[in-house]
């Protein structure tokens, strides 16, 4: 982990989702009631401990839709009060009433945008396209004018994430154009072979992994959690705590659990994680290494 200490804390919330993506790495957990889920007070304690170690951003990567857990909005508002930034991953179909509260907290959102072709979107995400398109326009309206200049950086509060598969590989350009037009950062990623993606690998990737990766890389941003130094922020500069307090190797590699926040301090958990996974080189992705492997 870098000299600046713990910059990112990624927190998993209840595994509930309104979508059923064909490739979801956490598909097998969706709808399960987690045992020993952290309480709101326990999440706040973790955040306070992380602040003492240098925390600047809390990320909600989602074992589902983070905003479907009522604790998420409470934590976002709690963090805004502490001057801590928040990033939420979302499928983009969200309750319109929470948008002003998210915007007021300066929350950044990474929105799933796999395709603007209704048939391909519905096949991949398992949601009707109409409500997604409607919700997306409400998000764009709510966040209009929310980008700002900080020093030499142009900070925008919205980003889009596209996973490229055999289904949507010809749909990326219209998504990229929509993002450009609206000042949205666009990430295009290949699939990690985990969860439902492993179950449907042939249908989604098969022998086309190299081609799909080339397509993803041609769009520039390699992974939505990358920082300007080319490392995955969640992995190289942070830790991921699951809904029951377990430390995960990273949000995707959900089966690698390295201790629990109820038994260890965060500093101890960082040491355990660094011993287990010392490789934090530029463009290193624990999820890709652990799930795709040499056959790709």
Ligand X SMILES: C[S@@+](CC[C@H](N)C(=O)[O-])C[C@H]1O[C@@H](n2cnc3c(N)ncnc32)[C@H](O)[C@@H]1O
Residues that bind ligand SF4 in the complex, under the rule CB under 6 A: 17, 19-21, 24, 26, 62, 64-65, 91, 112
| Stretch near ligand X under the rule CB under 6 A, chosen from 76-84, 164-172, 185-193, 235-243 | 185-193
| Stretch near ligand X under the rule CB under 6 A, chosen from 38-46, 190-198, 207-215, 234-242 | 190-198
- 164's contact among ligand X, ligand SF4, none, with CB below 5 to 8 A by partner kind, is none
Distance CA 73, CA 156 (A): 20
Q: Does 292 bind ligand X (CB under 6 A)?
A: no
CB of 15 to ligand X, least distance (A): 10
Q: Which of 7, 10, 23, 135 binds ligand X (CB under 6 A)?
A: 23
- 20's contact among ligand SF4, ligand X, none, with CB below 5 to 8 A by partner kind, is ligand SF4
Q: Does 17 bind ligand X (CB under 6 A)?
A: yes
Mapped onto helix, strand or coil, the DSSP state of residue 58 is strand
Mapped onto helix, strand or coil, the DSSP state of residue 31 is coil
- 132's contact among ligand SF4, ligand X, none, with CB below 5 to 8 A by partner kind, is none
**Number of Cβ atoms within 10 Å of the Cβ of 232:** 25
Compare residues 245 and 251 and give the one whose CB is closer to ligand X: 251
Per-residue b or e along 189-219, where b marks 16 or more CB atoms closer than 10 Å to that residue's CB: bbbbbbbbbbbbeeebbeeebeebbebbeeb
Compare residues 241 and 270 and give the one whose CB is closer to ligand SF4: 241
Kindly write down the DSSP assignment for every residue of 218-274, as one continuous string: HTS---TTB-TTSSBHHHHSEEEE-TTSEEESSSS-TT-EEEETTTS-HHHHHHHHH
Mapped onto helix, strand or coil, the DSSP state of residue 81 is helix
Which is nearest to 38 in space by CA: 255, 194, 238, 247?
A: 247
| Stretch near ligand X under the rule CB under 6 A, chosen from 94-102, 174-182, 189-197, 276-284 | 189-197
Distance of CA 110 to the CA centre of its chain: 7
Q: Does 15 bind ligand X (CB under 6 A)?
A: no
Q: Does 72 bind ligand X (CB under 6 A)?
A: no
CB of 67 to ligand SF4, least distance (A): 11
Q: Which of 38, 43, 59, 61 binds ligand X (CB under 6 A)?
A: 61
Q: Which of 161, 168, 225, 240 binds ligand X (CB under 6 A)?
A: 161
Give 116's DSSP letter: S
Q: Does 29 bind ligand X (CB under 6 A)?
A: no
**Number of Cβ atoms within 10 Å of the Cβ of 39:** 10
Residue list 210-249, contact with ligand X (CB under 6 A): none
Helices 266-276/40-52 angle, 10° precision: 70
Point out which residues bind ligand X (CB under 6 A): 17, 23-26, 61-62, 64-65, 89-91, 112, 161, 163, 189, 191-192, 194-195, 197
């Amino acid at each position: 982990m870098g000299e600046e200490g713990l910059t990112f804390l990624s927190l998993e919330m209840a595994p509930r989702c309104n979508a059923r993506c064909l490739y979801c790495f956490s598909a097998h957990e969706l709808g399960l009631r987690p045992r020993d889920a952290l309480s709101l007070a326990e999440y706040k304690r973790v955040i306070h401990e992380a602040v003492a170690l240098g925390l600047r951003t809390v990320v909600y990567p989602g074992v589902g839709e983070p905003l479907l857990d009522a604790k998420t909005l409470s934590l976002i508002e709690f963090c805004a009060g502490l001057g801590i930034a928040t990033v939420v991953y979302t499928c983009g179909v969200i309750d319109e009433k929470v948008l002003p509260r998210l915007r007021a907290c300066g929350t950044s959102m990474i929105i799933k945008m796999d395709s603007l072709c209704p048939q391909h979107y519905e096949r991949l995400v398992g949601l009707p396209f109409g409500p997604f398109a409607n919700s997306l326009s409400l998000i764009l309206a709510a966040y209009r004018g929310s980008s700002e200049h900080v020093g030499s950086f142009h900070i925008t509060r919205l980003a889009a994430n596209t996973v490229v598969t055999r289904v949507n590989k010809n749909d990326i350009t219209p998504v990229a154009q929509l993002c450009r037009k609206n000042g949205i950062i666009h990430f295009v990623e290949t699939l990690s072979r985990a969860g439902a993606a492993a179950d449907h690998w042939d249908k989604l990737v098969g022998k086309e992994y190299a081609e799909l990766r080339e397509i993803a890389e041609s769009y520039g941003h390699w992974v939505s959690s990358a920082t300007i130094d080319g490392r995955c922020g969640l992995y190289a500069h942070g830790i991921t705590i699951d809904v029951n307090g377990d430390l995960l190797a990273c949000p995707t590699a959900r089966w690698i659990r390295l201790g629990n926040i109820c038994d260890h301090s965060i500093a101890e958990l960082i040491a355990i994680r660094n011993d287990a996974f010392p490789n934090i080189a530029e463009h290193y992705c624990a999820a890709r290494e652990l799930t795709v492997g040499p056959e790709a």
